[in-house]
Amino acid sequence: MRRKYIRAICIAISFLCFLSVVAPVSATTISDLQKDVKQNQSQLNSVNKKISGYEDEQDAVEEEINDLDAEMVALLTDINLIEEAIRDKEEDIAQTQQDYDAAVAVQEEQYDSMKIRIRFMYERGDASYLEMFFGSSGMGDMMNKANYVEELYEYDRGLLEEYKATVQQVAELQDELEEEKSELETSKTELEDEQSYVEEVLAQKKEEYENYSVMLSKAKQEAAAYTAKIKQETAQIKKLEEEERKRKEEEERKRKEEEERLRQEALLASQGGGEDAESSSDSYEEKTETPKPSSSGGGKGQQIADFACKYIGYPYRAGGTSLTEGADCSGFVMAVYQAFGYSLPRSSYAQAGAGREVSYSEAQPGDIIYYGGHVGIYIGGGQIVHASTERTGIKITSATYRSIITVRRIV
């Protein structure tokens, strides 16, 4: 009941955290939004590290639980074996008790029979010997009877000693069995104490595991909230960038219209105003000449971007790191940078922490763009090259086709 109550409180707190993070976007400029994205990304990275830590700790607790379960099975098996051994000992003791009682009875019976014969032969004193002598037919007969009496006495005495030894042996065996039974019962008690301890520890570990489950659930909800906020802000940035692009296009259109109007005016003036008008027109054209577009990027980053584009059309392969045989998204990025002597982590999540972070508005060819579970290499002009899917392989895509989590500069 207490555990359910704690879990319910944690879920309620997580929900409130979710509501507090996923709030309407208040920033209105691209710069402010980029700052918010950077801050939320930092929070997301922190939560993801927390999740990773919780998962590691929970895995460790799960291993302990598995070990305790195995120990519990072994303890219960040992207890069952000892209980069977105790039952066997009790049966042996019962049988030994029967053997002891039978031996004692035979001993007592033999002793009683010997006493009767002794009384018959010796209690009458010399008369019995005289009767034995005078009743004999001769000396040989008398000696035979004397020898018989002596042998009978020795026989009874030997038999009695034998039964005494049997009784003593059975009694010693019974004592030994009782001692063994006592040892087994002691071992059983110790095992049961150990079982109680393991059950207590196991219960604690299971509760600890459940606590980690609650904390993981809370942290994952926080991560989902920050991811949603980043996605919302990235969408807003994209919207503002699109509005800025349209505004510039409109300004460019108006500028060209104004240039055309002035050109027409100059042309009319040149037709009616001679060389001065022509000179004025030439001067105007010199002043209004539009600059040539500059090359997109340069240096090592541009070289990396150009090199990556050489593999457009090559296959995508899950878990692959070969530029020609097939690579997944992070394997492709790692292999491209490896060709230039840079060592990057293998996973896309780890690559999202490589180098240093820059804003998307500052992105240059060669930068790595991370989208959450996916990475690509920025090649300029608002495009990336990346290992997309098994169907499409390595290809070029718009850099804003998904919500951008972070842009990393390696060179």
Active-site residue 309, yes or no?
Answer: no
Q: In 10 A of CB 126, how many CB atoms?
A: 7
Q: Which residues contact 5 (CB under 8 A, 6 or more apart)?
A: none
Determine whether 381 is exposed, middle or buried from the number of CB atoms within 10 Å of its CB (0-12, 13-18, 19+).
Answer: exposed
Q: What values do phi and psi take at 288, rounded to 5?
A: -100, 10
Query: According to DSSP H, which parts of 339-379 are helical?
Result: 348-351
17 in active site: no
Neighbouring CB atoms inside 10 A of 19's CB total 10
Letter string b/e over residues 344-376, b meaning 16 or more CB atoms within 10 A of that residue's CB: beeebbebbebbebebbeebbbbbbbbbbebbb
CA-to-CA distance for 387 and 190, rounded, in angstroms? Answer: 62
Residue 66 to residue 87: CA distance in whole angstroms: 32
Which one of 10, 17, 309, 374 is the catalytic residue?
A: 374
Angle (nearest 5°) at CA 54 between 48 and 55: 90
Alpha-carbon span 135 to 146, nearest angstrom:
12
How many angstroms separate the CA atoms of 401 and 397, rounded?
7
For residues 377 and 311, the answer to whether their CB atoms sit within 8 Å is no
Sequence-ordered list of residues with C-beta below 8 angstroms from that of 362, at least 6 positions apart, any chain: 407
* DSSP letter string, 111-127: HHHHHHHHHHHHTTTHH
Buried b (16+ CB within 10 A) or exposed e, 275-290: eebeeebeebeeeeee
Are 374 and 339 in contact, with CB atoms under 8 Å apart?
no
Nearest alpha-carbon partner for 411 in 314, 308, 326: 308
CB 105 within 8 A of CB 113: no
Q: Are the C-beta atoms of 25 and 233 separated by less than 8 Å?
A: yes
Residues noted as catalytic: 329, 374, 386
